[in-house]
A = this chain, B = another copy of it.
Amino acid sequence: MQAKSFLPPQRTLMGPGPSDVNPRVLAAMSRPIIGHLDPVFVGMMEEMKGLLQYAFQTENALTLPVSAPGSAGMETCFVNLVEPGDTVIVCVNGVFGTRMQENVERCGGKAVLVEDDWGAPVSPQKVEDALKGNPDARALAFVHAETSTGAQSDVEALCRLAHAHDCLTIVDSVTGLAGTPLYADAWGVDAIYSGTQKCLSCTPGLSPVSFSQRAVDRIQARSHRVQSWFLDLNLVMGYWGGGAKRAYHHTAPINALYALHEALVVLAEEGLENAWARHARHHEALRAGLEAMGLEFLVAPEHRLPQLNSVRVPEGVDEAAVRAELLERYSLEIGAGLGPYAGKIWRIGLMGHGASERNVLTCLSALEAVLGDMGAVTPGRAMAAARATYARQDRAA
């Protein structure tokens, strides 16, 4: 069997995630491995819990990273909170709402859909109607930051409605966490999951989750066993919540946890509000440059996520060819559209470490070069618009 070491190229990752990883995080990942029951490791886990609570703005004791990617974080929420026969109201305005529906159904629950256009936020009015029309609903599930479109929904308003109808709230903030304001406790979130590979500037593979006491009570009052052994929080809690007396559940992904710890330390050093403001700042400059080029945003201004910018592909342009050329000539990755927007939009991420002036200018110059050569945009304007935006921000500061 012949094979050689894999030496990846150096990319600039401005798709929907994974995003550019902070070099401090990569360095942390390659530190010496220690045992998952080593007292030194257990101390790190405790510190990690506090750092995650800070990132989510919660005091939930049950706050931890699931040892698998965001999709497993989603499944953790559903398999623990949904029992066969439960009705769950699921808001669908993109790919990840549809995946929530899949999860509810695979748990034996009944998903009542609240549908909005892709690119639009979840409509609180429709949610209220669904809650009124389904008094037996036990939970409301929705996406804070829809990675497939770049639209954000009003978490606080949706949680208020759910609680008024005695429903738990399950929130997807895979792309939201650390990129745009999120206050899990103040907004009334009962269960939330995220990913490491977006605005935390960490490698993919873990899913931070947090559960309120109401959610924990629901889990402990279940009448059916959780269908997943790996994701059963009754068991996971024995390891993550056990203090010095941790029960072995599964072998934690040690080095991946080093990486997440370092990413959270970086976030704490910057400060959450500063990180949110930085994402907003670079989004404004990118937006100015893209619009100066003549590109149009999919999402209305008031619902846009600063960290994920969806723009429409100009008429007659082969979007895959553009992405291939960006990758080939500039080693720059941007994202394609999904579902109804496959071939019709690009998704440009400004996430975590990648939310920087360098990345904004790299993206605008490369995109302008490739699209300009095709005659698809007006060249020569993007850079000036972005720089004028930065200058205006600097004067205002």
Report which A residues bind B (CB closer than 8 A): 1-11, 13, 15, 17-18, 20-21, 24, 26-36, 38-41, 44, 47, 50-51, 54, 67-72, 74-75, 79, 99, 102-103, 105-107, 195, 197, 203-205, 225-230, 248-256, 258-259, 261-262, 264-265, 268, 327, 333, 338
Contacts and interface: CB of A to CB of B under 8 A. Distances in A.
B50 A34 contact: no
A265 B6 CA distance: 9
A8 B258 contact: yes
Contacts of A255: 21, 26, 29, 203, 205, 256, 259
Contacts of A40: 8-9
A54 B1 CA distance: 7
Contacts of A17: 251
Nearest to A253: B205
Given A18-B254, A106-B225, A33 B6 contact: no
Contact of A11 (B18, B38, B75): B38
A163 to B, nearest CB: 27
A10 B30 contact: no
Contacts of A41: 8
Contacts of A3: 47, 50-51, 261, 264-265, 268
A105 to B, nearest CB: 8
Contacts of A225: 105-106
Contacts of A333: 34-35, 38
10 contacts: A4-B265, A8-B31, A11-B35, A26-B29, A26-B255, A34-B333, A68-B230, A71-B229, A74-B229, A255-B256
Given A3-B50, A50-B3, A8 B29 contact: no
Nearest to A100: B229
A165 to B, nearest CB: 26
Given A71-B250, A251-B204, A327 B50 contact: no
A149 to B, nearest CB: 15
Nearest to A252: B204
A93 to B, nearest CB: 18
B32 A10 contact: yes
Given A26-B255, A69-B250, A256-B256, 20 more contacts: A3-B51, A3-B264, A4-B265, A8-B31, A9-B32, A15-B35, A17-B251, A21-B32, A26-B31, A26-B33, A39-B327, A68-B230, A70-B251, A71-B251, A203-B254, A203-B255, A203-B256, A205-B253, A255-B256, A255-B259
Nearest to A203: B255
B8 A32 contact: yes
A272 to B, nearest CB: 8
A225 B102 CA distance: 10
Nearest to A20: B33
A124 B15 CA distance: 54
A68 B68 contact: yes
B8 A253 contact: no
Contacts of A102: 229
Contact of A262 (B5, B33, B38, B258): B5
Given A17-B251, A205-B256, A253-B204, A75 B230 contact: yes
Contacts of A204: 36, 251-254
Nearest to A7: B31
A327 B38 CA distance: 9
